[in-house]
Amino acid sequence: MIEVKSVGGKNPATVVLCFCENQIDEMKRTIFFYAIALAFLVFVLKSIEYRFYVRDLSIEFYIGFIAILFTVLGIWAGLKLTRKKTVVLSPDFVLDELKLQKLGISKREHEVLQLMATGLSNQEIADKLFVSLNTIKTHSSNLFLKLEVSRRTQAVQRGKELRLIP
Amino acid sequence: MIEVKSVGGKNPATVVLCFCENQIDEMKRTIFFYAIALAFLVFVLKSIEYRFYVRDLSIEFYIGFIAILFTVLGIWAGLKLTRKKTVVLSPDFVLDELKLQKLGISKREHEVLQLMATGLSNQEIADKLFVSLNTIKTHSSNLFLKLEVSRRTQAVQRGKELRLIP
DNA sequence: ATTAGAATCATCCTTTCGGGTGAAGGCAAT
DNA sequence: ATTGCCTTCACCCGAAAGGATGATTCTAAT
């Protein structure tokens, strides 16, 4: 029982490590699983404990065993909690919709910007969106005005800077 | 002594987590510090142990205390070991010179690619490198052949994929 | 000394881009 | 209903980019 409580007590410490809201669910699951694992381990340890007492083995070895176990468990928990962070840093992308609004960039224009960033030509973008080349040219022109650039390569760069595209 | 040994035993496990050679030194230091901390804790625990025996307190509480301590220590170690990984993933950029060679991309071509990625036009690149526009066009053409692309936006994208540019 | 690759520049030609302007239909807010 | 914005499309024009080919110079390796 003491051990299970101890897991709850660690929550404040782990929360410090979590910045993104979308990670909290994952973290909760991790903590829950960790609690379950701890409870199970305590159970196992109890049985081992009695065996050790019966066989009159050294208490030091028992302590060492616990230390190793919980160290490994702690490392695993630490990795589990930070792996999200690691993954989050690069491939995660949260669109800055506020900036989109502030610059007055419409959905369609943003769409064009995204395809532009993949290296497509205006004609290819037009084909992909099932509209005419002229439409894409209009969109891109307006886009360039709003992003204050004059070339598509600059637009892509600027879009990444402003977190409009991944 | 048992605990100290256990730290050494964890090395193989932690090595698995380490991919970059430049992290190994940092990792060694971390492990060394971890070993020191463990030894110190064992010392502390021993004294506490005797006090507990003298006061005839529950062995369960003692075990719980050890479990908490080593869990926290394990989490800390896990964080310490992965923090490097986290930092390495995004802001660092190591040029893949092998890939440059494999693709037969020359210094000048690589230079052009870099400037291309900043959104400059061929003319601007020519001005910046003090060569003629035609030269840049030749370089970029050769670059496109080697990167197997047909547009500068694609070249920039591909260059980033292949770690030729940041 | 010869060869190979690089860097440089040129010319010709086609395609793509970017800028400007205009316009028609749809949709939502006033 | 009027206004404003988005989306769509069109035409024109000049600039930029891309493709092909050839030539010169220089350096480094053979």
Amino acid at B148: E
Check if the beta carbon of residue B150 is closer than 8 Å to that of residue B144: yes
**Per-residue pLDDT at A136:** 95
Chain B, 118 to 147: residues with Cβ < 8 Å from chain A are 118-121
Angstrom distances, CA of residue A95 to CA of A23, B5, B117: 17, 49, 22
Residue A60: band (very low, low, confident or very high) from pLDDT cuts 50, 70, 90:
low
User: Are A71 and B6 inside 8 Å of each other by CB?
Assistant: yes
Taking the Cβ of residue A20 and every Cβ of chain B, the question of whether any pair is shorter than 8 Å is answered with: no
**Measured between alpha carbons, how far is A152 from A147 in angstroms, rounded to an integer?**
10
Angstrom distances, CA of residue A92 to CA of A51, A70, A118, B13: 50, 32, 17, 28
**Per-residue pLDDT at B98:** 84
Angstrom distances, CA of residue B90 to CA of A30, B29, B86, B87, B94: 25, 23, 8, 7, 11
Residue A20: band (very low, low, confident or very high) from pLDDT cuts 50, 70, 90:
very low
With CA atoms as reference, the chain B residue closest to A161 would be B118
Which tokens belong to A53? 């007492």
Please tell me chain A's helix, strand, coil percentages from 3-state DSSP, rounded to the nearest 5: 80, 0, 20
Kindly state the average pLDDT of the residues A86-95: 55
Hits for CB < 7 Å against strand C across B residues 107-136: 107-109, 129, 131-135
Q: Is the CB of B137 under 7 A from strand C?
A: yes
**Per-residue pLDDT at B29:** 59
Supply φ then ψ for residue B9, to 5 degrees.
-65, -20
Check if the beta carbon of residue B17 is closer than 8 Å to that of residue B82: yes
Kindly state the average pLDDT of the residues A78-85: 59
Say how far B138 CA is from D22 C1', in Å: 12
- Which residue did the predictor score with more confidence, A18 or B81? B81
Reported as a single tens digit per residue, the pLDDT across A91-134 is: 566 777 888 888 899 999 999 999 999 999 999 999 999 999 99
Average pLDDT, chain A: 71
* Core vs surface per residue A87-123: b (16+ CB within 10 A) or e: ebeeeeeeeeeeebeebebeebbbebbbbbbebbbbe
Hits for CB < 7 Å against strand C across A residues 104-133: 121-123
Which tokens belong to A18? 């979590």
B107-117 helix and B133-147 helix, angle to the nearest 10 degrees: 90
User: pLDDT digit of tens for each residue in chain B (166 aa)?
Assistant: 322 333 333 333 333 333 334 444 555 555 666 666 666 776 666 666 655 555 555 666 666 777 777 777 777 777 666 654 444 444 566 777 888 888 899 999 999 999 999 999 999 999 999 999 999 999 999 999 999 999 999 999 999 988 888 8
A13 pLDDT more than 50: no
Q: Looking at CA atoms only, how far is residue A96 from chain B in angstroms?
A: 20
Element spanning B23, H or E? none
Kindly state the average pLDDT of the residues A64-84: 70
**Per-residue pLDDT at B70:** 76
**What one-character DSSP code corresponds to residue B166?**
-
* Core vs surface per residue B95-125: b (16+ CB within 10 A) or e: eeeeebeebebeebbbebbbbbbebbbbebb
Check if the beta carbon of residue A116 is closer than 8 Å to that of residue B153: yes
**Per-residue pLDDT at B147:** 93
**Per-residue pLDDT at A71:** 75
